[in-house]
Amino acid sequence: MKISHFSKLANTSVRMLRHYEDLGLITVSRSSENNNYREYSAEQLPRVNQIKSLQEMGFSLRMIKEILDNPKTKTLETYFELQKDYLNEQLEKVSYQQSLLETVSDMITTNNDYLNYNVVLKELPERQIMSLRRTVSDYQEEQGLWQELYEEYLAQNVSFSEPPLGLTLYHNEAYEEENIDLEIQSSVIGVYQDTATVTFKQVPKITVASTTFQGSFEQMPLIMEALGRWIEVNQLEIAGPMINIYHVTAAQDPNPDNWLTEACLVVKTKEEI
């Protein structure tokens, strides 16, 4: 049977039949090296139908060849279970992508800058730190806390880890414009003496939703909305303070456009709460 006739019976294009042949999924009944003439047999139709059925289930052609070359019922059931698991994972992935797309589409109707904030889930590792925590009247006082921490760093000849991971935790449960509970931390190496204001301690690892941004802190309302929406889409819960990790600060570069900060929210799954 000519390939064109076989193509009609199999409801499969000539190009695809040749592709099947190249992959070893089907073989020609007879061929001539002189004119590249191929003949197929009607007995091959069930094989083509099996291939197409498995393709409709989402199996790759490589996997289909593996299945058809090992036609045991138990093996077939195993392949089917694996494929169901894979499709369920893909379904969850597509559902997440759809939710994220709807969320971002809603956000960019008011401001395209939301696309600048790529949120990821990450872990801040267990660390040895030097810490200073105090309630201040406004956010401008944070710089003074860093100066105090720096003076203690000099006094005890502290060795910072690399990178030192300088960060600020905002411990208030809600946003406050005064009486702000701040804690600043830097990661250190070694053992040092606590003072009246500075504490050296080990802190456990934490999971955070994080986005790194460049520029001034005037972006914070947009950043917090991006974090909040991402946390909601991923069905997580805020489970701790807001954190700013400083990568490039005013002390390193006075130009706000060059500041680089990582904004984080401590999160847990709903089951962990």
Question: Beta partners for 81?
Answer: none
Q: How confident is the model at residue 37 (pLDDT cuts 50, 70, 90)?
A: low
The residue among 74, 78, 45, 48 whose CA lies nearest residue 61 is: 48
Q: How confident is the model at residue 5 (pLDDT cuts 50, 70, 90)?
A: confident
Phi, psi of 48 (to 5 degrees): -65, -40
* ω into 163 cis (within 30 of 0): yes
Average pLDDT rounded to a whole number, residues 173-190: 94
Q: How confident is the model at residue 165 (pLDDT cuts 50, 70, 90)?
A: very high
Instruction: Answer left, alpha or beta for residue 179, where phi above 0 means left and psi between -120 and 50 means alpha.
Output: left
Place of tokens 């390193």: 252
Helices within 126-211 (DSSP H only) = 142-155
Per-residue pLDDT tens for 208-240? Answer: 999 999 999 999 988 998 899 899 888 899 999
- Retrieve residue 88's tokens: 């369920």
Residue 116: pLDDT above 90?
no
pLDDT of residue 189: 97
DSSP character for 124? E
Q: Is 110 exposed, middle or buried (0-12, 13-18, 19+ CB in 10 A)?
A: exposed
d(CA 137, CA 199): 22
Q: What is the DSSP string of 206-256?
A: EEEEEEEEES-GGGHHHHHHHHHHHHHHTTEEEEEEEEEEEEE-TTT-S-G
Average pLDDT rounded to a whole number, residues 150-178: 94
Instruction: Answer left, alpha or beta for residue 136, where phi above 0 means left and psi between -120 and 50 means alpha.
Output: beta
40, 8 Cβ separation under 8 angstroms: no
Q: Are strands 167-170 and 180-189 parallel, antiparallel or unpaired?
A: antiparallel
Reported as type and span, the H/E element at residue 37 is: strand 37-39
What number of CA atoms fall less than 13 Å from residue 209's CA on the CB side?
27
Residue 201: pLDDT above 60?
yes
Residue 96: pLDDT above 70?
yes
> pTM of the full predicted structure?
0.66
d(CA 46, CA 18): 17
